[in-house]
Every structure is written in C-alpha cells, then in structure tokens.
Amino acid sequence: MSRQAEQAQQPGKVWLVGAGPGAADLLTLRAARLLAEADVVLHDALIGDDVLALAPQARLIAVGKRCGRHSTAQRFINQKIIHAARTHARVVRLKGGDPMLFGRAQEEMNALAAAGIEYEVVPGVTAASAASAQLKVSLTRRGIARSVALLTPRAGEGEHPSQALRANADTPTLALYMASHESMAIARELMSYGRGADTPVALVENASHPASREAFTTLQGLSEHTVGALLGCGDQAPEGPVLVMLGEVFRDEMQARTSSTSSESARCIQVSAA
C-alpha cells in the first residue's frame, strides 16, 4: 500500500525530536534517521541549515519562537502539527536542545493525544550539557557541587520567576536558560537571597556552534553589566542563545582565564567537530 493510501485511512505519526544545541553532529542517530525519513519537519527558529539539510525530501515549516521577536503562538503550533499529521504519514517536530526541557513539549503532547494522534519523543543534548562540555567544566564535582538546577525566568500565566529563583538560590550549580535579557535583575535577586557576590558566572553563546563566544564574570559583575557587554557585543544584544551558568565549579576556570588577561573580556573561540 502506498504512503498516500495509508494516509487516507488514518493519521500519520509525530516524532518530537531534540535537535541538540546546534551542531549537526550532536544529533542522535535516531534523530538523523527520522529527519531523513520525514515528510514534514516543523522546526524551531534557531535550527541551523546544516541540521535541516538532513531532511532534503521534507517540507520544512518554521514555527519557532525567539525572545523579543515576532513568533508563532503555541496554540497555532499545536494546530499546525495536528494538521500535518492528518495529511502526512511521518511528521517531525524538531525542537532545539531537548524537547522535554523548556520546550513546551507537554502542551504539544497533550494536543496530539487529544486529537488521537500517535507520537514519540526523541531526546536531544540540552544546552547546559553542551556548554559545560565546551568549557571543559563539570556541572557537578565531588565536594563542591552535588546538585544542579536548570531554570528559566520565562514564566507562564499565574507564575512568577522569582519563585523558582528563591527556591533554588542555594543550589550549588545553576544553569539559566533564556535569561540573558534579564540577567542583571536575576543577579541582583540572587544576591538578595544570600548568594555570594563573588560567585563565578560563565556565559556561553551558541554552545557547540562553529563560532561560539564565552565570558566569565562574577555575580556582582553580572549585576552591573549586560550579557552583551560581557560577551563583547557592546550595546548590542547577542544574536544567539546565551546560557548563564553560575557556581563554585566554574571558579578554577574563571581564575585561569582572568590570570591570563588583564581585563574581563569575551573570547571568541572555534569549536571544531571531532
């Protein structure tokens, strides 16, 4: 039976696939295979062309959101996924990082379940893992950090981001997603909850990309300077997503870098594929 004939009888299947932090060779083998087999790929705004090139036969539909820019509302994304599944056999919803971390995957899964459409989830490498690997700094370390909290200041209706910050202010290692626009206020708030002003902070823009920027500072420094300024962008906001990480695990690397330069400045690095 042809794919078209199968589709006329029943809806297709949807795979929520993690695209990882950006580098195409960090996708899982399953993700690459599903992209190669997909009829339609609905992808986030930050998915790179080299990743999308893994689905040359698929219809590509951009549905992602970016902070501070025009984007597609989540309810319309849900509708697009459902429509694609009703008209195509194999649909990939390609999400940056890992679908189950700050990707609103639950809303999409709920919508698919309500529509009676089968789906699976394929995990991806999240930005915190990619950034720590790039910096060569483990997020946990015996005797220093036995726990990590992944947070975002982006709050849903009826929520307040301060609740999450207050609850996790003492967590040894924090990784803050989608926080660059509010980083100064977040730093001041964490210090008001008792976090030390000299707590090391690591910033990584476009983790795993061929050209990625890194900067180190302290919580006090983050409270006084924008992420763009710390990364060497001046008054401009960084173009790529920035992960803000903090904790004692970063102190050795911060001291090593600051000892080799007279100023606290960003370093543009090249990340080569293995």
**The one catalytic residue among 39, 44, 95, 245:** 44
Count H helices and E strands in the chain, helices first.
11, 11
Token pair listed for 65: 């959101």
Question: Is 178 part of the annotated catalytic residue set?
Answer: yes
Pick the catalytic residue from 65, 100, 184, 191.
Answer: 65
Token pair of 87 as six digits: 């008209």
DSSP code per residue over 155-170: --TT--HHHHHHHHTT
Distance of CA 88 to CAs 58, 81, 117, 245, Å?
A: 11, 10, 12, 41
109 is catalytic: no
Find out whether 140 and 173 touch, Cβ atoms under 8 Å. Answer: yes
Q: Establish whether 254 is a catalytic residue.
A: no
Give alpha helix (H) positions in the chain.
3-9, 29-37, 49-52, 74-87, 105-114, 127-135, 161-168, 183-192, 219-224, 227-230, 251-258
Check 39, 98, 178, 245 and give the catalytic one. 178
Cα(102)–Cα(151) distance, integer angstroms:
9
CA distance 131 to 196: 23
The set of catalytic residues is 44, 65, 178
